[in-house]
Amino acid sequence: MTAGALQRAIRRAGQRAAVERCGMCAGRVAPEHRHVWDEQDGELLCACPPCSLLFERESAGGGRYQLVPAHGRRLTGLSADELGVPVGLVFFVKQRDGRVLGHYPSPLGTTESEIDADAWRAVEARSPALAELAPRVEAFLVWTGTQSGGGQQWVVPVDDCYRLVALIRRHWTGMSGGSSVWRAIPGFFEELDRRHGRHSGDERWRRR
């Protein structure tokens, strides 16, 4: 994803438009809706239920549009220390060429860096969920913990990560972020648990 496409995705995630439209057919979509990754243009598009079904089939064939999964999964008993996370919050996304990029949320968007391939393989070898991470449309989300909580690791749909970045941008104040953002981040992870927690720890879990 280019820097411009990432910023557009984050901006859309933070918007609360009265009417949102499907990126394929222009039909209305509900506030809770699926997204597809446009491999050619490098961006996320909203998808209505009929288009979601259509592109679920196309995703299986590796076409231009990849449906973003609907479900996530919390991981337990996995150490990611080898990845050298320099901040308390980061998400990792595989690329089609096998590289893994770390994205570090900030009030300006994200800072991006490429992860050492050997370090990633070492962590991946201990987790089937990471070995099966779908390029571009899933992310390994790590919250290392703060005084208010944390210590969580998730495999999540990548659009969840864009919502997290939009939340940080919306609530951040001053140099350190202010109290509002540090309340909002735990709330985000509580929502993840409500929406995806039933899939955690289930080896039969499926992406869709």
Four-CA torsion 192, 65, 169, 31, nearest 10 degrees = -60
Positive or negative, the Cα torsion across 49, 52, 57, 60?
Answer: negative
Residues 96 and 140: their CA atoms lie apart, in Å, by: 16
Which pLDDT tens digit goes with each residue over 64-107?
Answer: 889 999 999 999 888 888 887 777 889 999 998 999 999 988 88
Pull the structure tokens for residue 109: 């968007």
User: Cα 111 from chain centroid?
Assistant: 15
pLDDT confidence bin for 62, thresholds 50/70/90: low
Which pLDDT value is given to residue 71?
Answer: 92
Mean pLDDT across the chain: 82
Q: What pTM was computed for the model? A: 0.82
Who contacts 6 (Cβ-Cβ below 8 Å, separation ≥6)? 109, 110
Token pair 């370090």: residue: 119
Pull the structure tokens for residue 160: 């969840």
Pull the structure tokens for residue 71: 């479900």
Strands (E), the chain: 20-21, 28-29, 34-38, 43-47, 65-67, 73-75, 89-94, 100-106, 109-114, 138-143, 152-157
Given 3-state DSSP classes, what are the helix, strand and coil percentages for the chain, each rounded to the nearest 5? 35, 25, 40
Q: Has residue 206 got a pLDDT over 50? A: no
Which pLDDT value is given to residue 11?
Answer: 57
Question: CB-based burial of residue 44 (10 Å sphere; 0-12 exposed, 13-18 middle, 19+ buried)?
Answer: buried
What's the one-letter identity of residue 126? R
Which pLDDT tens digit goes with each residue over 128-165?
Answer: 999 999 999 999 999 987 545 568 999 999 999 999 99
The mean-pLDDT minimum among 20-24, 78-82, 168-172 falls in 78-82
